[in-house]
Structure 1
Amino acid sequence: MFATISMTVDIPGYPERVYRAWLDSYEHGRFTGHPVNISGRVGEPFSTFDGKVVGVTQVSTPYGRIVQTWNLAEFPQNQPDSTIELTFEPTCTGSQVKVTQTGVEAGSTRQMMQWWEDRYLRPLRDYFDELVGDYPADEGDG
């Protein structure tokens, strides 16, 4: 049985900038800390984490939405690819990125959510925190 998981993270960067970073091999590698081969073109395969994550970009709506098939080497051989959808929404201090993954083994949802937090969401936020630094909007003064 398969499940769907969903997580959000606030990023101190405009949606356009975060979207581009996800689909750029160099920047994607910078925030994950692993080599990445990604173009962002629909139908193009990608790989990251030294080939332990592979998939194909299926939808690429500039600055708003990315859909990719997703297969981790950790998944059982007979398990079909899952699908991830990323959406990018503007906020007062940057953007909110929502990651939804369908096709996750029902018994491993907590493990998969932790995987996303440790390998993508926190590193992505930290990467943009470092790029942006402190600016007045961070101080909550409106």
Structure 2
Amino acid sequence: MKDFKKYYTIPATPGYVYLALTNPTTIQLWSGEAAEMSTEPGSEFSLWDGSIVGRNIAFEPGKRIVQQWYFGDQPEESIVTIKLHPAGDDSTSVELRHTNIPDQDYEDIVDGWNTMYFGALQEFYEE
């Protein structure tokens, strides 16, 4: 199991970034795929046509998202924590921490965070 931590800068306020990560309609706008998402703790979510599935754990509007991502029957939960910090000039510093990523999935997950997830979100707000 491996952990991944990285910071991203998104050219939008923390409130807008939070909505982009939690509203299914907005997720579809920047990802190009339908999403199932709710801000109800304990609810299940699905992104990229089921490529990413899990359970929502906690939300702090405009500040924090905590989710469990499913990777089969692994013994330890894989937890994603996204913290949003104002970065000036209507930008957001996103602190991502993803724990307990299975070794065989690590490279794909890191690439996905950098290109499909936060890379796509950065492009969405830059346009």
1:90 aligns with 2:58: no
* Other-structure match for 2:62: 63
Opposite residue 19 of structure 1, the aligned amino acid is: Y
Residue number in structure 1 paired with 2:108: 111
Match of 2:6? Answer: 7
How far 1:127 sits from its partner (Å)?
Answer: 0.8
Give the 5 Å matches for 1:15-94: 15-71=14-70, 75=71, 77-80=72-75, 81-93=77-89, 94=91
- Worse overlay, 106-115 or 23-32: 106-115
**Cα distance, 1:107 vs structure 2:** 5.1
Most deviating of 20-29 and 80-89: 80-89
- 1:37, distance to aligned residue in structure 2 (A): 0.9
Task: Quickly say closer, same or farther: Cα 1:67–1:53, change in 2 above 3 A.
Answer: same
Q: Which amino acid aligns with 1:42?
A: P
- Percent sequence identity is 26
Amino acid at match of 1:92: G
Give deviations 1:80-135, integer Å, cap 9, x for gaps. 551100000001231111211111123543332112112101101011112xxxxx
Q: Supply the AA of the counterpart residue of 1:28.
A: I
In the other structure, the counterpart of 1:101 is 98
- CA distance in 2 between partners of 1:14 and 1:34 (Å): 23
Q: Distance in 2 between matches of 1:12 and 1:118?
A: 16
- Cα distance in 1 for partners of 2:9, 2:84 equals 10
Q: Which runs of 5+ in 2 are unaligned?
A: none
